[in-house]
Amino acid sequence: MLRKALLALSIAVLAFPCASFVFAQSANQVSVAVSPTNPGPNEPVTITLSSYIINIESADIEWSLDGRSKGGGIGSNTFSLTTKNIGVSSTVTVVVTPVGNAPITKTVTITPMSVDILWQATDSVVPPLYRGKAMPTSEGSVKFVAIPQIQSTAGSLLPSNSFLYGWSEDYAKDQANSGFAKDSFLASMDYLNPTKNIGVEVSTRDGGTTAQNSISLSPRAPEVLWYASSPLYGPLFNTALSDTYNVTGSETSLIAEPYFFSPGDPTSPLLKYSWQLNGQGVETPSIPNALFLHRDSNETGSATVDLSITSVNKLFQEAVMHLNLNLQ
């Protein structure tokens, strides 16, 4: 009797249908990485999916951009796009369906923002009316200014003094010079480390929007350019002399104009000038960068002028120039 009861129970168990279970999935089981982290406008971006819980490689993945399907497939865990203009968002939606499980939906909104970095050599000497940019030199000081291009929800650019600034120098965070509304940063060029890397990360106070950028700057060696001076017109700064100058008159005035030296103490000389004529030292003129030459005869020939300029306060700022004179 007991045997018949057990047999009937076994048959009943075998006849019970097997259920197919679908487990609930959480969006946290799929990680989304955006590269670069803070993209700028019209910049290529790659989105990558990963998971330590589900098998991404065997999952069915479908991508869409701004509501339009962009395809996908099994194991299609990367998606590329190009960002729009500043402040214009792109919405990427991905649906991940693991084998035998419910789909997982992830949405990423990318709003491109940018920050420009401008720089100015604050202690680099250039001649009056010089239209070019003063270049930084070794041991010189440079000011960096961040110009963020970040929009409000209303679409207008936010003022630069409304952000948090995180500055870094040579890849090391400078906490003391970072903070709210600190949109400028001062650094000194280093002779032993000629390439200066300055980075900045700009974010809103709530941390909702972030932009970052970096710039590499190398010092430039100081230079000296030769110019002739006319008794009628004065220094002819419109044309610099090459390494050879033809002398046709009895009197010649030469101007040596220094570029990109750092100024010294106002109470002491800025630069030291050392002149040589035909290899022999000459006394520094009252105007130290101007040399007046008088020709005693009409004989033709050649002469040489050499000049060394060194900074009084900066150890590694020096320029040496040579000029050949053809006496005609």
Torsion on CA atoms 83, 86, 88, 91, rounded to nearest 10: 40
The pLDDT tens digits for 213-251 are 999 999 998 999 999 888 778 888 888 898 898 888 778
The H-or-E segment that residue 226 falls in is strand 223-230
Calpha distance 253→235 (Å, rounded)? 9
User: How much is the pTM?
Assistant: 0.77
pLDDT of residue 27: 63
pLDDT digits (tens), the chain, 328 positions:
434 443 343 333 333 333 333 344 566 889 999 999 889 999 999 999 999 989 999 999 999 999 999 999 999 999 999 999 988 899 999 999 999 889 999 999 998 999 999 999 998 988 878 888 999 998 889 999 999 998 877 778 889 999 999 999 999 999 999 999 999 999 999 888 889 999 999 998 888 788 999 999 999 989 999 998 887 788 888 888 988 988 887 788 899 999 999 876 555 568 889 999 999 998 888 889 898 888 777 778 888 999 999 988 888 889 999 999 888 7
pLDDT of residue 17: 36
pLDDT of residue 11: 33
pLDDT of residue 12: 34
Buried residues in 147-162 as b, exposed as e (16+ CB within 10 A): ebbbbeeeeeebebee
Calpha distance 97→51 (Å, rounded)? 13
Which domains does the chain show, CATH number per domain?
A: 24-110 (2.60.40.10), 114-217 (2.60.40.10), 223-327 (2.60.40.10)
CB 247 within 8 A of CB 327: yes
**Burial class of residue 67 in the structure, from the number of CB atoms within 10 Å of its CB (0-12 exposed, 13-18 middle, 19+ buried):** exposed
Q: Which of 219, 202, 220 is nearest to 211 (CA)?
A: 202
CA atoms within 13 A on the CB side of 248: 2
Calpha distance 254→101 (Å, rounded)? 86
- CA 62-63-69 angle, to 5 degrees, is 100
Calpha distance 62→70 (Å, rounded)? 8
Task: Name the 3-class secondary structure at 142.
Answer: strand
**Burial class of residue 319 in the structure, from the number of CB atoms within 10 Å of its CB (0-12 exposed, 13-18 middle, 19+ buried):** buried
pLDDT of residue 26: 60
Calpha distance 24→128 (Å, rounded)? 74
Torsion on CA atoms 211, 216, 219, 223, rounded to nearest 10: -90
pLDDT of residue 259: 92
CB 291 within 8 A of CB 305: yes
Write the DSSP assignment of 17-79 as a string of letters.
Answer: PPP-------GGGSEEEEESSS--TT-EEEEEEE-SSS-GGGSEEEEEETTEEEEEEET--EE
pLDDT of residue 97: 95
- CA 202-206-208 angle, to 5 degrees, is 70
